[in-house]
Amino acid sequence: MELKLERPLVIFDLETTGLDIATARIIQISYIIAHPDGSEVHENHFVNPGFPIPKEITELTHITDGMVKDAPSFKELAPQLAQTFAGCDFAGFNSNAYDLPLLCEEFLRAGVNFDFSKARFIDVCNIFKKMEKRNLASAYKFYCGRKMEEDFQAHLADQDTAATWAVLKAQLDMYAPGKQEEPERQLENDVEKLAEFSRAGSPALDFAARVVLDKDGNEVINFGKYKGVKVKDIFPRDSGYYSWIMQADFTLNTKQVFQKLWLKYAKR
């Protein structure tokens, strides 16, 4: 179904040097401008971030330093983009949480105060999450083929536990290697591998995920002013940070992890 438009809609996506909006830089911006008359304009720009692209980003996006070496910086592109996007609405996938805030940051860094206040933002990811619920009842219906209320009374712990167990076993049936051709849609019947597959984000040392492990096994702060910084680089030079953690309103589990790290890394 064609979307009814009153003004142009920019459907866009960014590839960037990282996930931290404060420090990440755009290395590719692609967009389709859908006009009310049904016409479309497709554009794609590589962007030179001004520093080497992290190895893990190249592995993920296949965008290399060589591909952006002769590309314009965002500052050079910004005036043209601001003119192109003027009077438009925006759409993307998870764009409200990441792409739009980063695009705004890049405009501001370039000295272009693009006015987003009149634009409307469609986040396709949020529509997906709201329309295709990801709660236990939805999972039970999807994997077990029945409405949860037909077999259980929801929101009672014993009933939810039984339903969860049924869903897990049904997942193993649905994604068994013999039933799925694509390797990425196969689940092995192994607790360790299931735990690894179902984990969201980097491995965390505390349940609140305030400290995570990077790919080299270093403990890294996952919030606040030191986000992305290794703990071993903080404690020897900022003992006040540890004191603040222990006095602030963090969980006891998080404080326990920080205490162990303090004993491990603090200067004596």
**What CATH number corresponds to the domain at position 86?**
3.30.420.10
> Can you give the pLDDT at residue 224?
92
Other beta carbons within 10 Å of 266: 13
Q: Does residue 205 fall inside a structural domain?
A: no
Residues 106 and 13 in one domain: yes
> Can you give the pLDDT at residue 268?
52
Alpha carbons 28 and 43: distance in angstroms, whole number: 11
User: 21-64, pLDDT tens digit by residue?
Assistant: 888 999 999 999 999 999 999 999 999 999 999 999 999 999 99
User: 54-110, pLDDT tens digit by residue?
Assistant: 999 999 999 999 999 999 999 999 999 999 999 999 999 999 989 999 999 999 999
What mean pLDDT is predicted for residues 151-174?
A: 90
Q: Does residue 227 fall inside a structural domain?
A: yes
Residues 106 and 53 in one domain: yes
Residues 37 and 118 in one domain: yes
Q: Does residue 203 fall inside a structural domain?
A: no
Residues 179 and 257 in one domain: no
Question: Which of 73, 96, 128 lies at the terminal end of a domain, its last residue?
Answer: 128
* Nearest residue to 14 via CA among 55, 47, 40, 58: 47
Residues 141 and 176 in one domain: yes
Residues 260 and 162 in one domain: no
> Can you give the pLDDT at residue 262?
94
DSSP string, 182-234: SGGG---S-HHHHHHHH--SS-BSSTT-SEEE-TTS-EEE-SGGGTT-BHHHH
Q: How many domains does the chain have?
A: 3
Q: Does residue 204 fall inside a structural domain?
A: no
Residues 118 and 163 in one domain: no
Residues 220 and 192 in one domain: no
- The answer on pLDDT for 172 being more than 60 is yes
Handedness of CA 193, 199, 201, 203 (dihedral sign): negative
Question: Which of 105, 128, 151 lies at the terminal end of a domain, its last residue?
Answer: 128
Alpha carbons 167 and 135: distance in angstroms, whole number: 12
Residues 110 and 13 in one domain: yes
Alpha carbons 28 and 12: distance in angstroms, whole number: 10
Alpha carbons 199 and 214: distance in angstroms, whole number: 14
Q: Which domain holds residue 50?
A: 9-128
Q: Does residue 92 fall inside a structural domain?
A: yes
Q: Does residue 246 fall inside a structural domain?
A: yes
H/E segment holding residue 105: helix 100-109
Q: Does residue 100 fall inside a structural domain?
A: yes
Residues 142 and 164 in one domain: yes
Residues 45 and 123 in one domain: yes
Residues 45 and 116 in one domain: yes
Question: Which of 128, 158, 174 lies at the terminal end of a domain, its last residue?
Answer: 128
Q: Does residue 143 fall inside a structural domain?
A: yes
